[in-house]
Amino acid sequence: MKLPRRNFMKLSGLGGLGALLAAAPRAFAVAIGYPRALQGPMIGAPGPSHFSVWVRASGLFDVTLEYSTDRDFTTFITGPTARARAEDEGSVVLRAEGLQPNTTYWYRLRYDGEYDKFQPLPHKTTTAPAGAASFRVAFGSCCRLQFDPEQKIWSAVRALEPDMFLWLGDNIYADSDQTAALVDLYGRGRSVERLEPLLRSTPQLATWDDHDFGYNDSDGRSASKGESLRVFKSFWANPSYGEANNPGVYFKQHYGGVDFFILDGRYHRDPTDQVDDANKTMLGAAQKAWLKRELKASKTPFKVLAIGGGWSAAENEDGGDSWGVYLTERNEIFDYIRDNQISGVVCISGDSHMGELNCVPRSQNGGYDIYDFCSSPLAQMPANKNIRQVPEVRVRDTWTRSVNVGLMRFDMTGGKPTLTYTLHDILGEAVWDALVLTPDDLRNGVSTWEKKSDPKELKRLQRFREGKGYYGYDPPAGWPDQPHP
């Protein structure tokens, strides 16, 4: 129905839009303009019998999910409806339930009863496997839209075909306590052309680090952390956020026979310059207790601990804000893993602006060697901090030549599960020889770091232990006056 202009003006004069809608037929009483997605859709937390969809709507109206195993939607199921609210920045999360595991579903959305005219084709995603499976998980950190608005790395990520993607912090660079800055950068980040196909098909889970939590190196003293958390929850579709009595962004996700523990290293963090003793915490008491309980209860062959900052001692220096300056608490967690016979733990991290593969040789303390896979950055300037930093063990040389993404390939289907880790450059090429781990490598009393490390890294470590520079060189014979690094 199209009202004559004179009638529109008359009704507007009698009470504005409300009077117009009251006088118009019911079919007219919907959002004016083109109800649509401002950003998204994006696939969130996965499961064998469900998938979840995040989207940010263009108005405060109802959004409805429809899905089908038929691309043409000859038959389909009308799923849940949620109303976009201002307090959620217009974002909603809709969950399709009662599905078959490891099955491809097509989905589409209605906005105030209408399909998005700018997204005429349906999207597709796949539910998680019901049990042990062969699957891929990609991860990365440090995605600065201001530095790289094109973000070519996402073409490589899509070619690697991950079944899930983990964002490990600095997902935006807001560096602000203003809500508008956070919302603007989350929104613009969701509209990167190369990223959108990955968001719409592959489950996305996230934690944060300082630049999306607040300002650089910000910690639990931040006055704006409650608002940062509210906005974070509005733009991600994690399975949960902290606990009822302990706010934060930490959670556990199971996929294909592996437990993933995604940690919050900011909300409860003590200042980095506080003395590193038993009173200093990165996680806070409640989150640490949760992690210990969940690790002890986990029965999966591999258990992945994920957080923004690196797990090794590499940043144990002035200005560092990784686990390198929270070593007392880190070692407490690693001691708990050893003392409770918790096998299969590996760690992933970001933040360093370098690709790293390090190891904490806990086999020297009665446990097993704990590996730290670090991918950074996705869209930011790489750094060469490696020339001044030395972790416990560098298994592979650092990668600083391009942006990068980490890939964990799990095969849980055979008699001996395996985890294969590779780091990939902007073209998708693996930059190192793969690291392959089995559960037998990750149990108390087993030492693997020497046989898993590159020989050149072992030589560099030995040189460092002799008091020379890690990246230095030995002068040729006959050059006694040549200064040593």
What pLDDT does 164 receive? 98
Per DSSP, helices labelled H in 95-209 are 153-160, 179-189, 196-201
Cis before 4 (ω within 30):
no
CA–chain centroid gap for 358, Å, is 19
Helix 179-189, helix 225-235: angle, nearest 10? 20
CA–chain centroid gap for 204, Å, is 7
Average pLDDT for 112-129? 97
| Domain harbouring 50, CATH code | 2.60.40.380
**E strand segments, 282-353:** 303-306, 345-349
Q: Coil, strand, or helix at residue 364?
A: helix
Q: How far from 222 is each of 158, 215, 225, 228, 270, CA to CA, in Å?
A: 36, 9, 5, 10, 11
Q: Is the CB of residue 73 less than 8 Å from the CB of residue 155? A: no
Q: Assign 5 a pLDDT band (cuts: 50, 70, 90).
A: very low
Residues 349 and 327 reside in one and the same domain: yes
Residues 275 and 411 reside in one and the same domain: yes
pLDDT exceeding 90 applies to what percent of the chain? Answer: 86
Q: Which of 13-17, 113-117, 163-167 has the lowest mean pLDDT?
A: 13-17
Q: Which residues pair with 62 in a beta bridge?
A: 83
pLDDT one-digit tens code per residue, 217-267: 999 999 999 999 999 999 999 999 999 999 999 999 999 999 999 999 999
> Which structural domain, as residue segments, surrounds residue 48?
37-125
- Strand 204-207 and strand 164-168: pairing? parallel
pLDDT one-digit tens code per residue, 442-485: 999 999 999 999 999 999 999 999 888 888 765 555 544 333 22
What pLDDT does 306 receive? 98
pLDDT exceeding 70 applies to what percent of the chain? Answer: 91
pLDDT one-digit tens code per residue, 324-379: 999 999 999 999 999 999 999 999 999 999 999 999 999 999 999 999 999 999 99
Question: Percent helix, strand, coil in the chain (nearest 5)?
Answer: 25, 25, 50
Residue ending a domain, choose from 125, 156, 172: 125
Q: Coil, strand, or helix at residue 405?
A: strand
pLDDT one-digit tens code per residue, 405-430: 999 999 999 889 999 999 999 999 99
The answer to whether position 477 is within a domain reads no
Asked if pLDDT for residue 431 goes beyond 70, the answer is yes
Cα angle at 251 between 249 and 254, to 5 degrees? Answer: 150
Residues 324 and 429 reside in one and the same domain: yes
Average pLDDT for 155-178? 98
What pLDDT does 477 receive? 55
Average pLDDT for 204-216? 98
pLDDT one-digit tens code per residue, 41-70: 999 999 999 999 999 999 999 999 999 999
The answer to whether position 200 is within a domain reads yes
Average pLDDT for 207-212? 98
Q: Name the one residue in this structure whose structure tokens are 């490696």.
A: 386
Residues 218 and 189 reside in one and the same domain: yes
The answer to whether position 315 is within a domain reads yes
Q: Which of 92, 105, 83 is nearest to 31 (CA)?
A: 83
Mention every residue, 6+ apart, whose C-beta is less than 8 A from residue 253.
45, 46, 205, 238, 239, 259, 260, 262
Residues 205 and 119 reside in one and the same domain: no
Q: Assign 71 a pLDDT band (cuts: 50, 70, 90).
A: very high
Residues 73 and 200 reside in one and the same domain: no
The answer to whether position 472 is within a domain reads no
What pLDDT does 12 receive? 33
The answer to whether position 471 is within a domain reads no
Alpha-carbon distance of 377 to 383, in angstroms, equals 9
72 burial via Cβ count (<10 Å: 0-12, 13-18, 19+): exposed
What's the whole-number average pLDDT of the chain? 92
Residues 42 and 189 reside in one and the same domain: no
- Quote the tokens at residue 314: 């590499």
Residues 153 and 104 reside in one and the same domain: no
What pLDDT does 386 receive? 85
Identity of the residue numbered 104: T
Domains of the chain: total: 3
Q: Is the CB of residue 257 less than 8 Å from the CB of residue 417? A: yes
Q: Which of 24-28, 53-57, 290-294, 463-467 has the lowest mean pLDDT?
A: 24-28
Q: How many CA atoms are closer than 13 Å to the CA of 426, on its beta-carbon side?
A: 14
- The answer to whether the Cα torsion of 77, 84, 184, 115 is positive or negative is positive
Residues 26 and 41 reside in one and the same domain: no
pLDDT one-digit tens code per residue, 122-151: 999 999 999 999 999 999 999 999 999 999
The answer to whether position 478 is within a domain reads no
Residues 163 and 255 reside in one and the same domain: yes
The answer to whether position 369 is within a domain reads yes
What pLDDT does 11 receive? 30
More confident position, 10 or 19? 19
Residue 260 gets the label, from left (phi > 0), alpha (psi -120 to 50) or beta, of beta
What pLDDT does 24 receive? 40
Residues 368 and 325 reside in one and the same domain: yes
Alpha-carbon distance of 453 to 248, in angstroms, equals 36
Alpha-carbon distance of 239 to 138, in angstroms, equals 18
The three-state DSSP-derived secondary structure of 40-95 is EEEECCCECCEEEEEEEECCCCEEEEEEECCCCCCCCEEEEEEECCHHHCCEEEEE
Asked if pLDDT for residue 14 goes beyond 90, the answer is no
Asked if pLDDT for residue 16 goes beyond 90, the answer is no
Asked if pLDDT for residue 10 goes beyond 70, the answer is no
Residues 117 and 169 reside in one and the same domain: no
Q: Assign 105 a pLDDT band (cuts: 50, 70, 90).
A: very high
| Domain harbouring 199, CATH code | 3.60.21.70
Alpha-carbon distance of 135 to 114, in angstroms, equals 36
What pLDDT does 183 receive? 98
Alpha-carbon distance of 394 to 360, in angstroms, equals 9
Q: Coil, strand, or helix at residue 372?
A: strand
Alpha-carbon distance of 236 to 262, in angstroms, equals 14
pLDDT one-digit tens code per residue, 461-473: 999 998 888 887 6
The answer to whether position 371 is within a domain reads yes
Mention every residue, 6+ apart, whose C-beta is less than 8 A from residue 152.
194, 426
